[in-house]
Homo-oligomer: A and B are copies of this chain.
Amino acid sequence: METEFISWLRQRLPPHPQLPLGPGDDAALLRLSGRPECLLTVDLLTDQVDFRLGECDPRRIGRKALAVNLSDIAAMAGRPLAAVIALALPRTRAFELATELYEGMLPLAAEYAVAIAGGDTNCWDGPLAISVTLLGETTERGPLRRSGARPGDAIVVTGRFGGSILGRHFDFTPRVREALRLRERYELRAGIDVSDGLSLDLARLAQASGCGARINTADVPIADAARVLAQAEGGAETALAHALGDGEDFELLLAAPPDVARRMLDERPLDVPLTVIGQFVAEAGLWQVDAGGAARPLVPRGWVH
């Protein structure tokens, strides 16, 4: 079925100026647009872990498989360039499923000018697994790492957090444009995308930077979906707990000097909200500060693979 599928796919792939040789040879050939540096990331999505095949449109699964990688390139303030896609398809309806997955991926690829450079499409007796590898380019400012935050830097986030399981974990907008715009205009020191949980990913960034972080809990932007979940649970988990630990928000979490952060908030350079939720501190660990100013340790929570 792979030959038939490649024919189907090749008819749907637009030409890409940086892809002189796409699917159909032993490897794809890509032309970088300037800098001799590139970014590479891979994410694997599997049935019953990242989605439930029987319960959702495969187009949403395909879209998500590419979008999570776009979010990783955004976290590095990179420009996505090309993807290769490996599919392990259950034998039943394999061709249809492959086309539906790609029907979800292709519009997102077009939106972000990502070339679909190649893939490997296989059938087997196992459940659906999708691995997308994304190649990106750095900009003049270079890649934004996790390790550059300094004590005193503000913790800046895009968007709102929590409750993504209600749908946003499929339909989120990867913050590629936002990261590029912020990186171009402001001095950013470090960045990560919130995939596993706001508190967990913040802890990771702080650890990579050799510092700690304090979150002002009253300032955390909480998504409506987190409140819906909290209400449905009758208060078992508060909306804040959902915001801090649910994950799959795919928002940016950035470190910036405090004056830069103030300027970012004043100038509102994005269409999505930007919020300062705390600051990095010299002492290792994660702390939550309540509205009254009392600080206590915050145990990082989120999705542990």
Q: Interface on A for B, CB 8 Å cutoff?
A: 1-3, 21, 24-44, 46-49, 72-73, 75-76, 78, 82, 84-88, 117-127, 129, 131, 133-136, 138, 143, 145-147, 191-193, 208, 304-305
Contacts and interface: CB of A to CB of B under 8 A. Distances in A.
A161 to B, nearest CB: 18
Q: DSSP class of A's interface residues: helix, strand, loop or mixed?
A: strand
Contacts of A145: 21, 25
A118 B26 CA distance: 22
A49 B124 contact: yes
A203 B24 CA distance: 13
Contact of A40 (B34, B73, B117, B121): B117
B37 A208 contact: no
A30 B38 contact: yes
A41 B127 contact: no
Contact of A192 (B26, B48, B84): B26
Nearest to A135: B40
A78 B26 CA distance: 11
A25 B146 contact: yes
Contacts of A38: 29-30, 32, 38, 135
Contacts of A118: 40-42
Contacts of A131: 42, 44, 86, 120, 131, 133
Given A131-B120, A145-B21, A37 B46 contact: no
A196 B25 CA distance: 14
19 contacts: A2-B304, A21-B145, A24-B146, A26-B146, A27-B39, A27-B41, A27-B136, A29-B76, A30-B40, A32-B32, A40-B117, A40-B135, A43-B120, A44-B131, A47-B124, A48-B124, A49-B122, A120-B131, A121-B305
Given A49-B122, A127-B126, A37 B31 contact: yes
Nearest to A50: B122
Most buried by B among A30, A38, A78, A84: A38
Contact of A126 (B21, B126, B133): B126
Contact of A88 (B46, B125, B138): B46
B75 A2 contact: no
B76 A27 contact: yes
A26 B76 contact: yes
Given A25-B146, A49-B122, A37 B30 contact: yes
